[in-house]
Each structure stands twice: as structure tokens, then as C-alpha cells.
Amino acid sequence: MSTVSCSNSGPGTSPSAPWCDFTNVNSATLVAGDEIRLARGSTWNQELRIDDSGTAAAPIVVDAYGSGARPAIVRSGANSDRGVYLENVSNVTVRNLEISHAAVGVQAYYSTLNHSGLTISDIYAHHITGIAQGNNPVYDGTCSQSPIPGLYTSAGVAITGPATKNGSVTTFPFTSSQTALTGLVVTRVEVTASNMGVMVGWCNGVRSTDGTDGTSLITNAVFDSLNLHDLDGGGDVRADCPNAITLMNMQNSTLRNSVIDRAGACHSRDGTAGIVLMRMKDVVVANNIVANVPNVGSAADQMGIDLEYATSNVSIFNNAITGNYGAGISSLAIRSAACGSSDTFDHSDWNTISSNLIQGNGANGDGGIRRVSNCFTPTGTINNNLYQQSQLLVSGPGEDFRGYIFSNNRDVAGNASAWYAARDFSSSANAWSYASKSGSGGWTSLPYSASAGSYTSGTAFVSAFLANPSSTLAVSRAWTAPATGTISMRSRALLVGGSAAVVRVTVNGNQAYPAQTVQPSATGVELNLDALAVTAGDVVRFEVDAAAGAQVSWVPAIGYDAGTPILDQSNEFGAFQSYRDIRGTVQRMQSFVPLAADTRAAIWAYKNGSPAGDLVVKVYQLNSSGQPTVTVATRTIGAASVSTSATRFDVTFGALTAGQSYGIAISSPGSTGNGTSNSYGFAYSEDSRYANGRASFSGDSGASWALDPAARDLRFASYR
């Protein structure tokens, strides 16, 4: 099709005799292997519609031909306008289009099951607005008032289907063993000046008929190399800009190598975020930049990544999560019968937040990672992250991280002292350099190709996210230390092309991390280093051996250690009560089990009145009955140095034994009296906040200890 020298009465089968518009193809029955070619430089104000399917070997393809600008579909801005509409298709590819001024760019709608093979690539979409919250004044869970069926919010790319909640909408029955679409690929898609970049969800998410979260609806999806930026509605007065990408009803899927920058850049009624995840199972979010969600006065959120609803085994790995006005990541627990909600299905189970660079988030006070609400207890792991935050972990009243396991999260000093390879990538010299080598020869700098956006030699290249060797050339990305110090490095190598690749890390040519073979896997190979001493000018090189067809996503993060303790065990998140009775023979203790060789512990205490004696903090090794056997450390604090409000007091010691039970205790033998006046107090909770220990009481100067009620914990923390 072309708008030049065309006729809808002609054959439409060659560039010399094209159809003028989409009228004929929209009414045609397409078969496997058919190609719909749109002329570069041509523009149409018309919806392109396909409801036929190809095969895996012979897909139906929509693509550009000729030279010049991408073919453009420019609609009229009505809230029913679509660019490309696909209905119940399998084995269809849509690529190399520009779409604008529509309510949705490319929409795939599925009202039947058992489809496979949809690829949407190389799309540039802008000024996509008109639909928000299903266009309902009060959202009813159905999108029944949406001018475009199943569409909750205008987006550059939307994978949708009918909702199930309301009788006015056609129901979509499926069980936990049934799938609507498998093998979805969305890659090299840019969306800007719109409500949202990518939306996947049957309206706003659906449950299966056999009572599960509905994560089977879309399986084995890959979202790769997305550029979703400046999502500010493009000046449309109807604009509502909730998120860059919303993913729902999905399992065994991956989001990688993508830039999400200034999502939610106009006000949204329901809050804003970079990435929102709902009804997700076994999903990996790795090697992305999620940055700069601004303050637009929305009622909530304004965060980087939102673990919103019904998530299980979601892995957030090796991303740069930076500069978001709200939290970098939020873990929500906002629906359950305990909170008066009729929705009793929400949960958040064993999600992992690991090896990310979390930097400069939470100008609103939400910090790096925020726990929101306490309708249930989310579980998971928060480990190996590099952070530059005044607070890494934040929770409000009644909220806490009791279900999470923490280890080896490291503070890195100052914005200027943390690097993320993809964020720092540019054509100009900086701390990073790019090189190739043949065989056992030396490394040679790669020249920058502006057209390719990479450092390139033949088929070998290094780009912001990717390292692509050739059959004869190894490639590398190298970081040169600007100062002497100790660094931590976080990286994850994901194979995105070929059958295998060999990667390694060297410092000045010497092995720092041994060679690893990366094979096809959603989680790849983790290569982390801590306490690595460098001298100014040292070169830390990330090498990929020569291999035909291999392509590796590998985006190292590096920071100079700030020298602050690394949190191991804690229950310090959330609200606490206080009580004062520490004097004379009365002592209190909190037990804990370190996961590492901890060297510091802290407990929160305060004074009431004018205690006669000092506050004494001791750390004990405990036996299996919870009784002290060895005094590990003692610290004495004068009464004048103790505040009248609960304040943290640290005690340091030699390395503890991981897995051994210890206790941190407070006492004041020199403060006598039978009442609670002129004594010391402590902060505590009554909600079983810490799973690996509990509070205990001694009334005989520590000769024996009795367990407090099982739900009670004293506020404490331990550090490696």
C-alpha cells in the first residue's frame, strides 16, 4: 500500500501497483505467509485490521518497504481511534510503523483461547490518549464504558480481552491450565507523549474460573529494548498518565534491556508508576532503567516499580532504579478481609529484589523500597542491592518488612560514586570504554557508530545493554576507576541470542571473576564482587568471548563502598509501642539469628525521669533454651546520653557465627526502685514481626530468662 501512484482497483501485490489504503486488506481473508507492505513516507488516517492467523513457519507480516520515514498511521484523536487492530490472531508480526493521535497504537484483542506467536517490533507511537480507567467516572472493574473493548488506558501497545466482572461485558472463562496467548514478543518499541507505553491486561485484570490469579492467561512473553519516555499525555486535556508499562495475568515472562524515563508525567486519578505488576507469577524484570517518575500531584505512588497485586516469584534483578519522586520499589499489601475488603485474593509471595542500583528515590519520604499497608504479610528477599538513599527501607504505621529476608545490601557513597553501564552509555568518553580483540591479541578500542547507536566493528558491537561478539572477535565493556578505594560490583549476564556465551571479569588483565558460561535462561548468570580494592586508573573489564551468534545482555553497576554497616537482621520497620521498667534486677532481651558474620547490633531505648545508674547493653550467645552462655560484648551508656524518646544504641564485637542464636539485652543495675519512674524503657511490637527470635524477661539480674508472649519483639537490628 502507498499513497503515491496507487489504486484500490489494482492488484495491490507489488510496489508498482499498490493499493491506496487499508480498505481491501481489512476485508480480505489472509493466509499463512501473506505480507502486508506499507510504503515508507506514506501516511494514512485509517485503522488496519487483521483477524486471520499465520503459522509458526509462515507468519502473517505487516512491514514497511522502500526508503525514508516509517509508514505512518495518523488518526484523528478520537477516543475510539486505533492504529492497528488484531483480533484472536496467532503467528502475526507487526513492525516498522509510526502510529499517532489514536486511543491505542497497536491493540491485540483475545476473546478466545489457545493462541500463540505474536510479535510487535520497531513501533514508534506518540500522542496516544483518550481512554483512562476504562473511561468510567467510577471504575467498575469491567471497562464497559470504554470506547475500545477491553482497554483500560490508552497505550502505544495493548494486549487486551473482555473483562469478567460485570454482566454487561462478555465474560471470558478460562481455567488455570488454559492460555489465551503464548509466545508474545514486544521489542524495540518507543512510546512518548502518551498516557501509557505498554498495557497488557484484560481490562484491569481477571481471575480464572477455578479461582486462581489468572497468571496462565499469557505465558512466555518477552518485552525487550523498550523506550518508554516522557509519558505526559502530549498536551491532551483528556490525558491521564498512570504508568509506562502495566503487566497483568502473566507467567514465565521477562522484561529486559528497556528504558523507562519520566513515566506518569501528567496527573493520574489513581496514581503513577514506571512499572506496575499485577497477577504475575515467575516473572523476571532485569537489566532495565526505571527513572524519574515525577511529582505531578497524584494522590498516591509516583514510584519506580509497583508490586501492586497478586504477585508470586517476581524477580527484580540488576536494574537502575533512580530519581523517582516516590519509592524506587513499593511492595503493597492492600486487600484482604482483615482490611475490610471483599477481595480476599491478594498476596505477595517470595518476590526477590536483588542486585539493583537504587539511587536518589523517595523525595516524598518513601525511600528506596517502601512497604505499603498491612492487610497481609508479603514475603521475599531483598539482597545484594547497591543503594544511595538516606533510607533504603521505609514503612508506615502498621507496615513492616517482617516477611522479607535481608542480606548484603550496600551503601555506595554519593551520586557521583555510582555507575550503571546502560545509563552512562554515550558516544563521548567517560568512565566506560569499549573494545574488541582477536584471539590472544590485545584489546583495541571500538569506534562509535552514530547510526547503529553502538561501538561497532563488523558484526561485533557493544551497545547500552548488549555485548555482541562475532565468530572471530571478543568484545568488552570496561570501567576505569577514577579514584582509589573499595568498590562493589553487581551484574547479571543474560543470553539473548545464540546458544551459549562465555563471560568473565578482569582487573588490569587479571582474573577478578572466573569465566562463566551463559546459557538460555530468564535469570542468566549473576557476577557480583564486593570489597574489591582499586587504584585510580585500574581497568575493570567485562569480557565476552568470540562466538558466532552470541548476544549477551550485561549491564554492570559499580559503586564505591560508603563504609556503612550492612543490614543483616532487623525488625525496625513499622510502628512500635514503648514501656519502661529497666532498673535494678529487671532486664529485657531480644534474641536473633544472624545470616552472616555480623559485627554490630543495635537496640532502641530511652529514659524516664532521672535513672540513678547507667544503661548497659550486652550481646550474648544463647543456648537452645534461649539462656545466655557467653557474653560477646558490653557497652555502658551514661544516663545523660540517653534521650527521653526511643533512640538507637549500637554495640560492636568480633564476627558472630551465622546460624547461631544470640541475644541483645538492656539493663541498669545501678537504677534501683520498684516503680517505672526513674528507669529505662524500650521500644517493642506485639505482632510477631521478627520470625527468627523473640523477646524475653529477667527479674533476677539475668540469672534466668523467661520468654515474653510469642508475638512480642524488642526493636533491634544487626549488621555485618
Read off the pLDDT of residues 512-540 as tens digits, 9 standing for 90 and up: 999 999 999 999 999 999 999 999 999 99
Q: What is the CATH number of domain 85-416?
A: 2.160.20
Q: Ranked by mean pLDDT, which of 102-106, 342-346, 569-573, 682-686 comes out on top?
A: 102-106
| Amino acid at position 320, single letter | A
**Paired residues of 664 in beta bridges:** 590, 619
Residue 541 C-alpha cell reads as 573489564
Distance CA 280, CA 358 (A): 23
DSSP structural state of residue 658: T
Q: CB-based burial of residue 548 (10 Å sphere; 0-12 exposed, 13-18 middle, 19+ buried)?
A: exposed
Q: Which band of pLDDT confidence, cut at 50, 70 and 90, is reported for residue 144?
A: confident
Distance CA 254, CA 538 (A): 35
pLDDT digits (tens, 9 = 90+) for 686-718: 988 888 899 999 999 999 999 999 999 999 999
DSSP class per residue in 377-393:
---EEEES-EEE-S-SE
Residue 300, pLDDT above cutoff 90:
no
Q: Which band of pLDDT confidence, cut at 50, 70 and 90, is reported for residue 136?
A: low
Distance CA 304, CA 144 (A): 30
pLDDT digits (tens, 9 = 90+) for 463-515: 999 999 999 999 999 999 999 999 999 999 999 999 999 999 999 999 999 99
Residue 212, pLDDT above cutoff 60:
yes
CB of 204 within 8 A of CB of 134?
yes
Q: Ranked by mean pLDDT, which of 61-75, 123-137, 265-279 comes out on top?
A: 61-75
Distance CA 150, CA 145 (A): 10
Number of other residues whose CB lies within 10 A of the CB of residue 494: 27
Residue 262, pLDDT above cutoff 60:
yes
Query: How far is residue 298 CA from its own chain's centroid?
Result: 21
pLDDT digits (tens, 9 = 90+) for 345-371: 899 999 999 999 999 999 999 999 999
Number of other residues whose CB lies within 10 A of the CB of residue 634: 13
| Amino acid at position 337, single letter | A
Distance CA 435, CA 432 (A): 10
Q: Which band of pLDDT confidence, cut at 50, 70 and 90, is reported for residue 137?
A: low
**Paired residues of 605 in beta bridges:** 647, 682
pLDDT the model gives residue 23: 97
CB of 27 within 8 A of CB of 59?
no
pLDDT the model gives residue 135: 65
Closest CA to 542 of 530, 524, 531, 558: 558
Distance CA 266, CA 246 (A): 16
SS3 label, residue 41? coil
Average pLDDT of the segment spanning 277-293: 98
CB of 89 within 8 A of CB of 59?
no
CB of 469 within 8 A of CB of 546?
yes
Residue 58 C-alpha cell reads as 509462515
Dihedral angle at the C-alpha atoms of 286, 288, 292, 293, nearest 10 degrees? -50
Q: What percent of the chain stands above pLDDT 90?
A: 81
Residue 597 CB partners (closer than 8 Å, separation 6+):
655, 656, 657, 658, 720
pLDDT the model gives residue 416: 66
Reduce the secondary structure of 111-177 to three states and give it as a string. Answer: CCCCEEEEEEEEEEEEEECCCCHHHCCCCCCCCCCCCCCCCCCCEEEEEECCCCCCCCCCCCCCCCC
Q: Which band of pLDDT confidence, cut at 50, 70 and 90, is reported for residue 130?
A: very high
Residue 149, pLDDT above cutoff 90:
no
Distance CA 511, CA 502 (A): 14
pLDDT the model gives residue 170: 56
Average pLDDT of the segment spanning 542-554: 97
CB of 698 within 8 A of CB of 686?
no
Q: Please name the CATH architecture into which domain 567-719 falls.
A: Sandwich (2.60)
The more confidently predicted of residues 415 and 270 is 270
Q: Which residue ranges does the chain devote to CATH 2.160.20?
A: 85-416
The more confidently predicted of residues 294 and 394 is 294
Distance CA 637, CA 617 (A): 8
The more confidently predicted of residues 632 and 204 is 632
CB of 603 within 8 A of CB of 666?
yes
Residue 631, pLDDT above cutoff 70:
yes
Mean pLDDT, the chain, rounded, equals 93
pLDDT the model gives residue 167: 45
Residue 664 CB partners (closer than 8 Å, separation 6+):
589, 590, 592, 601, 602, 603, 617, 618, 619, 620, 651, 714, 716, 718
Residue 625 CB partners (closer than 8 Å, separation 6+):
none
Residue 56 CB partners (closer than 8 Å, separation 6+):
91, 116, 117
The more confidently predicted of residues 699 and 339 is 699
pLDDT the model gives residue 18: 97
Return the exposure string of 307-329: e unless at least 16 CB atoms fall within 10 Å of the residue's CB, then b.
bbbbbbebbbbbbbbbbbbbbbb
Q: Which residue has the cell 491521564?
A: 240
| Amino acid at position 550, single letter | A
Residue 652, pLDDT above cutoff 80:
yes
Residue 168, pLDDT above cutoff 70:
no
Q: Which residue ranges does the chain devote to CATH 2.60.120?
A: 428-560, 567-719
Q: What percent of the chain stands above pLDDT 70?
A: 96
Q: How many CA atoms lie within 13 A of 118 on its CB side?
A: 31
- Residue 8 region, left (φ>0) first, then alpha (ψ -120 to 50), else beta? alpha
pLDDT the model gives residue 140: 59
Residue 165, pLDDT above cutoff 80:
no
Distance CA 238, CA 259 (A): 25
Give, in order, the Cα–Cα distances in Å from 459 to each of 341, 421, 542, 546, 650. 56, 21, 19, 11, 56
Q: Strand 485-490 relative to strand 567-570: parallel, antiparallel, unpaired?
A: unpaired
pLDDT the model gives residue 166: 46
Question: What's the fold here for domain 428-560?
Answer: Jelly Rolls (2.60.120)
Residue 673, pLDDT above cutoff 80:
no
Residue 109, pLDDT above cutoff 80:
yes
* Least confident segment among 277-286, 310-319, 384-393, 462-471: 384-393
Dihedral angle at the C-alpha atoms of 327, 523, 260, 364, nearest 10 degrees? 0
End-to-end CA distance of the chain: 66
* Least confident segment among 67-81, 275-289, 421-435: 421-435
pLDDT the model gives residue 371: 92
pTM: 0.90
pLDDT the model gives residue 428: 86
The more confidently predicted of residues 274 and 339 is 274
Average pLDDT of the segment spanning 435-439: 97
Closest CA to 98 of 234, 190, 227: 190
pLDDT the model gives residue 406: 86
